[in-house]
Amino acid sequence: MALTLYNTLTRQKETFESLKPGRVSMYVCGPTVYDSSHIGHARSAVVFDIVFRYLQEVGYEVTYVRNFTDVDDKIIQRAKERNMDTQALSEMYIKEFHDDMDALAVLRPTAEPRATEFIKEIVEVTSMLVDKGHAYVMDGDVYFDVRSFESYGKLSGRKLEDMEAGARVKVDDRKKDPFDFALWKAKKPGEPSWESPWGKGRPGWHIECSAMSWSRLGETFDIHGGGQDLIFPHHENEVAQSEAAFGKQFVRYWMHNGFVNINSEKMSKSLNNFLIVREILEQFHPEAVRLFLLSKHYRSPVDFSEQAMKEAASGLDRVYASMDRIQETVGCLQFEHEASGHWTRFCAAMDDDFNTAGALGILFEAVRDANRLLDGDMAGDDNARVQECGAAILKMGHVLGMFQEDPKIYFENKKEKAAQEGGFDQSMVDDLVAQRAQARKDKNWAEADAIRKQLTEMGIAIEDTPEGTIWKMA
RNA sequence: GGCGGCAUAGCCAAGUGGUAAGGCAGCGGACUGCAAAUCCGUUAUUCUCCGGUUCAAAUCCGGAUGCCGCCUCCA
């Protein structure tokens, strides 16, 4: 089955063919590290984590590069505000980013280059552009000359003329065209800087990605990803830089993920509604966050809300509950067990431009099928069929980065977390539960119900199961 | 002014020519001392509206309406 993906460059779905057989080279724009990561960063990271995982699952050897922008205006400004060194600041946020993404089970890319580690390459590419007449020097700044690159605008589908008509563009008389952008910025007092043929300075934003992808993946590579907002100007400028410098196609497939809205509103500084990953993780299981993010196609906007997250958390419980039953009945879940129908259909959905929402549908069908069998008489080959479901669930989970915990531990942790949040002493609750159990044994229903009522008022829900009574936060 | 996207049940969401996946909530049943939880089952003659093409359309074409994004730092 062929993998197809939507290519922003051609505005249509295409059959994926890698440049080199069996190998995929992929570059994704990582964060500018001047603040904590928000849910939008998480979406991008999770989306491309899925791409990374799935490509490997279907047999490719993937070189996945995701950069850190560790020098730019915002970092410099933030460092100044905090009276910190820019490097210390970016270092701090890189660590935070790693912690957050690790928690979300986002695999580390093959390489995570930082802009400041590639100054040499940045200067090299910039020099090439100057030499070839695609860039010009002004007082120690170097600008890319957009008029010199004929197909400027091809990625974002716009024309310079159209944009200039109604756009609000900063006027800078020194630039030949308002859309010319800085490759190199001359040093200003108090800013980090490096030596260059044009004097001391630092790289502009767009050039780092051209330089780092070139260095790590070559002049042409397979997939370039990032958030939809990066299409213009960032990726448009990357195309211009790289193709002007090397004279070859830069990227074969461009993939862009959609935004995360918060309660139907765009995240923005003015609304002050940026949701920080670590705050979300205090409240929800990381796999519930992934489930939520993957429940809609990666190119569509997704709306974050308390309700949506609760639904995702409920769905996650459902899968783990089923896994627990499967484990209890047919023994250890065998990852190696040949997964058939469910897995095949799951792959068909993933092959269709990473349709994770559709794939999740198959996942839940496997859960339902297993539960249905387990509720039946388990005659004939039902045992094997349940195992097939279990194996499929695990295998799908492996691609989705979910269901990695032992179900027993998952539910135990959940209870512990609930008790902690509720500020209850577990043993005290256990005592009350035991008292109620005794009352029930004595058929003293009034007493039992009174205790249950007491617990309910404390926000604790009681569940009587064949194995005894358990409790959790309501 | 330019470019692009979306509109499917109470909510979220797949499906892009062959007669509507899945999740959450609800409801019915099983289970329970009663509950809760869990499991099973069930829930859109119909896909914003109006035309058109076709044996056949949520899916293609034309038009209308509504919502949203980008063109400025942004995942």
Look at residues A174, A171, A241, A177 and name the one whose alpha carbon lies nearest to residue A206.
A241
Look at residue A6 and tell me if it is in a domain. Answer: no
How many degrees, rounded to 5, is the angle at CA A61 between CA A51 and CA A257?
15
CA distance A193 to A190: 9
Q: Are residues A212 and A315 in the same domain?
A: no
- Residue A8: pLDDT above 90? yes
Q: What does the pLDDT look like over A198-212, one tens digit per residue? A: 999 999 999 999 999
The integer distance in angstroms from the CA atom of A163 to the C1' atom of B65 is 28
Give the mean model confidence (pLDDT) for residues A115-133: 97
Q: Is the CB of A301 under 7 A from strand B?
A: yes
Domain that holds residue A324: 305-407
Q: Is the CB of A448 under 7 A from strand B?
A: yes
Q: Are residues A231 and A117 in the same domain?
A: yes
- Residue A48: pLDDT above 90? yes
- Residue A473: pLDDT above 80? no
Q: Which of A407, A440, A464 is the last residue of a domain?
A: A407
| pLDDT for the residue numbered A117 | 96
CATH of residue A399: 1.20.120.640
CA distance A471 to A422: 12
CATH of residue A238: 3.40.50.620
Q: Are residues A68 and A179 in the same domain?
A: yes
Q: Are residues A380 and A468 in the same domain?
A: no
- Residue A415: pLDDT above 90? no
Q: What does the pLDDT look like over A359-409, one tens digit per residue? A: 999 999 999 999 989 888 888 888 888 988 999 999 999 999 999 999 989
CA distance A224 to A25: 9
Q: Is the CB of A316 under 7 A from strand B?
A: no
Asked if A118 contacts A208 with a C-beta cutoff of 8 angstroms, the reply is yes
Q: Are residues A71 and A133 in the same domain?
A: yes
Q: Is the CB of A246 under 7 A from strand B?
A: no
Look at residue A273 and tell me if it is in a domain. Answer: no
Look at residue A346 and tell me if it is in a domain. Answer: yes
Q: Are residues A251 and A332 in the same domain?
A: no
Give CA A121 to chain center in angstroms.
28
Give the mean model confidence (pLDDT) for residues A237-266: 94
Q: What does the pLDDT look like over A302-331, one tens digit per residue? A: 999 999 999 999 999 999 999 998 988 887
Q: Are residues A64 and A180 in the same domain?
A: yes
Q: Which of A355, A375, A407 is the last residue of a domain?
A: A407
Look at residue A268 and tell me if it is in a domain. Answer: no
| pLDDT for the residue numbered A346 | 95
The integer distance in angstroms from the CA atom of A8 to the C1' atom of B23 is 29
- Residue A180: pLDDT above 50? yes
| pLDDT for the residue numbered A421 | 76
| pLDDT for the residue numbered A171 | 57
Look at residue A8 and tell me if it is in a domain. Answer: no
Look at residues A185, A245, A182 and name the one whose alpha carbon lies nearest to residue A211.
A245
Question: pLDDT higher for A464 or A106?
Answer: A106
Look at residues A36, A32, A118, A117 and name the one whose alpha carbon lies nearest to residue A76.
A32
Pick out the nucleotide with least CA–C1' distance to A156.
Answer: B3
pTM, rounded to two decimals: 0.94
Q: What does the pLDDT look like over A134-147, one tens digit per residue? A: 999 999 999 999 99
Reported ipTM: the value is: 0.94
| pLDDT for the residue numbered A457 | 82
- What are the residues facing A260 on neighbouring strands? A302
Look at residue A412 and tell me if it is in a domain. Answer: no
Look at residue A287 and tell me if it is in a domain. Answer: no
CA distance A76 to A325: 54
Q: Which of A202, A236, A262 is the last residue of a domain?
A: A262
Q: Are residues A432 and A402 in the same domain?
A: no
What band does A458 get if pLDDT is binned at 50, 70 and 90? Answer: confident
Asked if A265 contacts A302 with a C-beta cutoff of 8 angstroms, the reply is no
Q: Are residues A66 and A103 in the same domain?
A: yes
What band does A166 get if pLDDT is binned at 50, 70 and 90? Answer: very low
| pLDDT for the residue numbered A273 | 86
Asked if A207 contacts A126 with a C-beta cutoff of 8 angstroms, the reply is yes
Q: Is the CB of A165 under 7 A from strand B?
A: yes
Q: Are residues A344 and A399 in the same domain?
A: yes
Portion of chain A with pLDDT greater than 90, in percent? 74
Please give the mean pLDDT across all residues of chain A: 91
Look at residue A225 and tell me if it is in a domain. Answer: yes
Q: Are residues A389 and A429 in the same domain?
A: no
Question: pLDDT higher for A1 or A233?
Answer: A233
| Overall number of domains in chain A | 3
- Residue A54: pLDDT above 90? yes
**A301, two tokens:** 């906007």
CA distance A249 to A245: 11
Q: Are residues A436 and A354 in the same domain?
A: no
Q: What does the pLDDT look like over A55-105, one tens digit per residue? A: 999 999 999 999 999 999 999 999 999 999 999 999 999 999 999 999 999
Closest residue (CA) to C1' of nucleotide B15 is A358
